[in-house]
Amino acid sequence: MCPASERQTTDRSWDNLDLLVPVNEALARVLDAVRPLPPVDCELLEALDRVSASPARATEDVPPFTNSAMDGFAVRAADTTGASPAAPVSLAVVGAIAAGEPATERIAPGEAIRIMTGAPVPAGADAVVRFEDTANVNSRVEVHRPVAALENVRLAGEDIRAGEVAVPAGTALSAPWVGMLAALGQVTVTIHRQPRVAILSTGNELVAANGTTGSGRIRDSNSTTLAALVAEAGGLPLALGAVRDEMDDLRAALRRAVDDFRPDLILTSGGVSVGDYDMVKDALRAEGKIAIWQVRMKPGKPLAFGAVNGVPLLGLPGNPVAAAISFLQFGHPAIRRMLGHPDVSLPTVTAVTTAEIANAGQRRHFMRVRLQDGPDGRLSATPAGEQGAGILSSLALADGLLVVPEDLTHVPAGSCLPVQLLRGRG
Ligand code: AMP
Ligand code: MG
């Protein structure tokens, strides 16, 4: 055991170039550099899928008064003892209350009041007999079944009590949660601000999506893929287009991204590999404090991470699938963290592989797969097509990313492995 020297090795490792970093360590390092963004108030519908930044306390009971759960008659439960179709109990009907009206009358023994669902239960009554269990006889009602005290009655505060924390801080606000805030009388809610994410593609070969290909030119698809993935993660994408592999252009573009757009995160793609023109890493180092890692994953091995003028920056590889998968492993969790989500990872299921998989090279392999419900009730995972780092179509077809661990060199068909879901399966 030598904790001091161990720590020294770990610390130094982050600055080393071309160092093989395990996926989990790279993720921990990225998450360590980001925090939930400051709170802002917004309207309830705008808060859908965001995370509450402060607890919402109920100022009154929900429901606010005791009311009927059925259309029927408000009665004293004791009056209905022994009632049956053969021996009905006859009660005098002394009034009627619709939903939205106050209960002004009180019932005495032997009396009933017609009551609609949601109407306040009148004083003196402690139960409601459903219409289906009664018959009307002139101004009286025959009850055919006994009711217990509180039967068909919704008590004030049975959902939420006044003073209680109804929506804790850190709640991912799904539709029922925003509905609950409305039930509490809130028209706005405090959430963590949405991160602004600047996206910069790099490469002399890139033309915009409406540009002309050929003569070595390809279209910049990463800007759009990454912007869409940022939006899916809950961030606000700011796609700044492509910049040439020129040191001055790259540095100027980075500075402009920070100064003009005040982003919370910068994503670049391309130029972090070992090619002659892969100078993003040099520009990044010149403009900020950036480490270049070789992450033990496939696809998406090269990754840059650090900060430019205090703004965290993730330098993704250029190959379209590698860029997307690296984003999903590191950018997506970072954005979720900034949004305040307690769980930042992609939703994960377990599936049974249908094909044999080879995984040489001690890297975590994120394999594009389609999922199917098997006859045994288990999910099965089948490769979605060619797995090359540039084959975007198989990522588009995939339901998820099968995670093959670093140390599994050979995965026989029929193995159970985790699958990160790329979208909800309809
Ligand atoms: P790089 O990491 O810069 O060496 O790029 C690796 C591969 O990804 C090359 O074939 C690039 O042409 C391609 N690539 C880089 N950036 C993009 C982009 N924004 N859109 C589509 N392909 C790209
Ligand atoms: Mg390049």
* CATH number of the CATH domain containing 170: 3.90.105.10
- Spell out which residues have Cβ within 5 A of ligand 2, the ion: 203, 270-271, 318
- The boundaries of the domain holding residue 89 are 67-154
161: in domain: no
How many structural domains is the chain composed of? Answer: 3
b/e per residue 21-54 (b: at least 16 CB within 10 A)? bbbeebbebbeeebebbebbebebebbeebbbbe
CATH of the domain at 116: 2.170.190.11
Q: Which two tokens stand for residue 110?
A: 């032997």
87: in domain: yes
CB 254 within 8 A of CB 267: no
Contacts for 28 with CB less than 8 Å, ≥ 6 apart: none
What pLDDT score was predicted for residue 9? 37
Q: Which two tokens stand for residue 204?
A: 């002399």
Residue bearing the CA closest to ligand 1, atom 10: 319
What pLDDT score was predicted for residue 18? 53
Residue the block writes with tokens 């193995």? 415
CA of 397 to the centre of ligand 2 (A): 26
DSSP code of residue 329: I
What pLDDT score was predicted for residue 5? 35
What pLDDT score was predicted for residue 281? 87
29: in domain: yes
Using 50 as the pLDDT threshold, list the residues of the chain that sit under it: 1-17, 425-426
Helix then strand then coil, % of the chain, to nearest 5: 25, 35, 40
28: in domain: yes
Q: Are residues 384 and 349 in the same domain?
A: yes
Q: Are residues 214 and 338 in the same domain?
A: yes
Q: Are residues 283 and 348 in the same domain?
A: yes
Where are the alpha helices (H) located in 94-221, listed in sequence order?
175-183
Contacts for 24 with CB less than 8 Å, ≥ 6 apart: none
What pLDDT score was predicted for residue 6? 34
**CA of 302, closest atom in ligand 1:** 2
160: in domain: no
Q: Are residues 102 and 183 in the same domain?
A: no
